[in-house]
Amino acid sequence: MPLTAPTPDDVIQAAARLKGVAHHTPVLRSSTADRLLGAQLFFKCESLQRTGSFKFRGAFNALSQLNAEQRRHGVLAFSAGNHAQAVALAARLLDIPAVVFMPEDASTSKMAATRHYGAQVVTYDRYTTDREALSRQFAQERGMTLVPPSEHQQVIAGQGTAALELLEEVPDLDYLFVAVGGGGLLAGSVLAAQARASSCILVGVEPEAGNDAQQSLRSGQIVQIAPPHTIADGARAESLGKIVFSLLQPHVQDIVTVSDLQLLHALRFFAERMKIVVEPTGALAIAGARHGGLDIQGKRVGILISGGNVDMARYARFLAD
Ligand SMILES: *Cc1c(COP(=O)(O)O)cnc(C)c1O
């Protein structure tokens, strides 16, 4: 696994690789949201990205740089869902075999989509299995390349291209709110801001129940937590990796947290007012801007809507509650 930290230039190169492969997702506005928060909001809709989340960017960027030998042996990923789909589609586009480990309670739509893209899915118990050890052993036995969901130079660089596009379209942002799981999206966003010499303040948003990144940044060292229970299933990471931490620590203003109830309200707002389907994790950024306690009055604020993959039955319950 490459343990090199990516640079702003890696994000620019990733953008070139993704051109014509990833969607250039739209930036939506909402005057109702602006009024509610007293700010000018710019919603970067990665819920409309291929496979339904920004994760396609990092996965394709990483897989497209494997050599012929690595491609022949295939790739392996462990993921609760969005990274799984992203690796599965990127692998199919590049004609690389893929195996994905998913927790047995992962969203059925995410599991079905991962199989649909052509990956082999292997399930495990998220509360009793050391998934990293399991998949590393599997990768070693079969000579497959492990593609981590965040702690990887080219994955982080790829994720950064979403913020890069937003900063190119809206160069004078004061703030950018970004969901944090393993921290790859926020780390890539840090590099994108550097690549565009933006003075935009970066704020990470985590679920209350899983605030390991907040604890890590505030204490100055990586903090590990137990698997958190939250509806934000894309942000159940238990700790940041070293590369991610090294990028976040000096450049992220703060990490704020939001409750599951605040995420539910945001989902409803997106559906009712903006007519977009957003998954709970994808609503972290707006909930953080609204409830995170930072003074954004009158500011120009980027909101990275990170994904839109949610089982329809579950989504219907969220909206009805
Ligand atoms: C993975 C994911 C996140 C968190 O991204 P990290 O790079 O792990 O911090 C946020 N939102 C969605 C929809 C995701 O799939």
Share above pLDDT 70 across residues of the chain, in percent, rounded to a whole number: 99
State yes or no: pLDDT of 164 exceeds 60. Answer: yes
Contact 114, 121 (CB under 8 A): yes
Neighbours of 282 (CB within 10 A): 32
State yes or no: pLDDT of 78 exceeds 80. Answer: yes
C-beta 158 within 6 A of ligand 1:
no
Ligand 1 center to residue 150 CA distance, Å?
9
Angle 284-291/260-272 helices, nearest 10 degrees? 110
Residue nearest to atom 5 of ligand 1 (CA): 181
Ligand 1 center to residue 235 CA distance, Å?
6
Task: Mark 44-59 as b/e (b = at least 16 C-beta within 10 Å).
Answer: bbbbbbbbbbbbbbbb
Residue that has been written with the tokens 């007012």 in this structure: 273
C-beta 282 within 6 A of ligand 1:
yes
- Of 152, 151, 206, whose CA–CA distance to 180 is shortest? 206
Name which residue leads in pLDDT, 108 or 320.
320
- Residue 124: both structure tokens together: 């495990």
State yes or no: pLDDT of 139 exceeds 90. Answer: no
The per-residue pLDDT of the chain, averaged, comes to: 94
State yes or no: pLDDT of 2 exceeds 70. Answer: no
Nearest-atom index, ligand 1, CA of 184: 7
Ligand 1 center to residue 179 CA distance, Å?
6
Residues 166-213 pLDDT 10s: 999 999 999 999 999 999 999 999 999 999 988 999 999 999 999 999
Give ∠ CA 260-225-57 in degrees, rounded to 5: 70
Nearest-atom index, ligand 1, CA of 150: 7
Instruction: Write the burial class of residue 203 (CB in 10 Å: 0-12 exposed, 13-18 middle, 19+ buried).
Output: buried
Sorted by where each starts, the structural domains of the chain and their CATH numbers stand as 8-53+152-320 (3.40.50.1100), 56-146 (3.40.50.1100)
Hey, what's the torsion of the CAs at 95, 97, 101, 106, to 10 degrees?
A: 40
Residue nearest to atom 13 of ligand 1 (CA): 307
Give me the phi and psi of 231, to 5 degrees please: -75, -15
**What 3-state DSSP class applies to 321?**
coil
Q: What is the pLDDT of residue 127?
A: 81
Indicate the pLDDT class of residue 1, thresholds 50, 70 and 90. Answer: very low
Ligand 1 center to residue 186 CA distance, Å?
9
Contact 302, 193 (CB under 8 A): no
